[in-house]
Structure 1
Amino acid sequence: MKGILPVACRIAGYALLILSVFVPLLMYMFGQVHDGNLIYVKLGIKLVVWLSLFMIFLSKVKDEAEETACLRSKAMKYALYIWGVYYIVMLIKGAVNQDLQVADNSVGIVYLIICVICWEFLYQKHRIEKTFRKNKF
């Protein structure tokens, strides 16, 4: 799976992700969040988080190659396994607490977050391995 967005979208995605964390706090501090618009603020934040995670995961990297596409696919596979474990744990927790809505709140966002973390880890690992292989005598 090759990246479909330009390289700059990765940086923009991280910037949006940081803004999606701090802007709601600032809005609350200045009294902009109240009962009338809470659902819209929450919806907007979730949409920005989704957009930023997709931008990070689907953007190209500087040295995009077949290996990078392989790493992106591997990250999706690992993230799916980790997400499956997370979902099962949340279902068990919800069954114990008799509140099954706990498992269904943000599972898609959690999957994308895990996917981005796996992608970044695998990509950085690949870059380090490539650098050390190049420097070997």
Structure 2
Amino acid sequence: MKGILPASCRIIGYALLILSVFVPLLMYMFGMVDDTNLLYVKMSMKLVIWLSLFMVFLAKAKEEDAEAASLRSKAMQYALYVWGLYYIVLLVKGAVEGDLQVADNSVGIVYMVLNVLVWEFFLQKRRMEKMFRRK
């Protein structure tokens, strides 16, 4: 799976991710969030998080080659396994506590976060392996 967005989208994605965390907090501190617009703030925050995670994950790597494409596919597979385990744990926890709404809360975002984390790990691992192979 090759990256379809330009490499600069990776930096923009991380900037949007940071903004999506801190802007709602600042809005709350300045009294701009209340009961009438809380749902809209939450929805827009999740939308920006989704967009930024997709921008990071689908941006081309600086050295985009077949190996980077295979790392992206591998990252998706490992993230899917970890996400499955996470979801099962949430279901069991919800069943024990009698609150099954817990399992339905932002699970897709957790999957994309895991995708991005595993992707970044594989990219850094590949970079280190190349650096130490040269010497």
Flag whether TM exceeds 0.5 (same fold).
Answer: yes
Pairs aligned (count): 135
CA apart distance, 1:61:
1.1
Correspondence 1:44 to 2:44: yes
The 2-side partners of 1:20 and 1:98 are apart by 32
The 2-side partners of 1:73 and 1:28 are apart by 39
The 2-side partners of 1:24 and 1:6 are apart by 28
| Equivalent AA in structure 1 for residue 110 of structure 2 | V
Correspondence 1:84 to 2:104: no
> 1:3-14 alignment to 2 at 5 Å?
3-14=3-14
| Equivalent AA in structure 1 for residue 97 of structure 2 | N
What's the secondary structure of 1:117's corresponding residue?
helix
Per the normalisation by structure 1, the TM-score is 0.97
Moved over 2 A (4+): none
Per the normalisation by structure 2, the TM-score is 0.99
| Equivalent AA in structure 2 for residue 7 of structure 1 | A
The 1-side partners of 2:134 and 2:10 are apart by 26
CA RMSD in angstroms, aligned pairs only: 0.5
Identity score, percent: 71
Q: Which consecutive residues of structure 1, in runs of 5 or more, have no partner in the other structure?
A: none
What corresponds to 2:32 in structure 1?
Answer: 32
CA apart distance, 1:6:
0.3
Correspondence 1:21 to 2:6: no
What's the secondary structure of 2:35's corresponding residue?
coil
The 2-side partners of 1:134 and 1:16 are apart by 36
The 2-side partners of 1:68 and 1:130 are apart by 13
Output one character per residue of 1:25-70: Cα deviation in whole Å (capped at 9) or x when no partner.
0000000000000000000000000000000000001110000000
Correspondence 1:122 to 2:122: yes
What corresponds to 1:69 in structure 2?
Answer: 69
CA apart distance, 1:131:
1.1
The 2-side partners of 1:44 and 1:98 are apart by 30
Q: Which consecutive residues of structure 2, in runs of 5 or more, have no partner in the other structure?
A: none
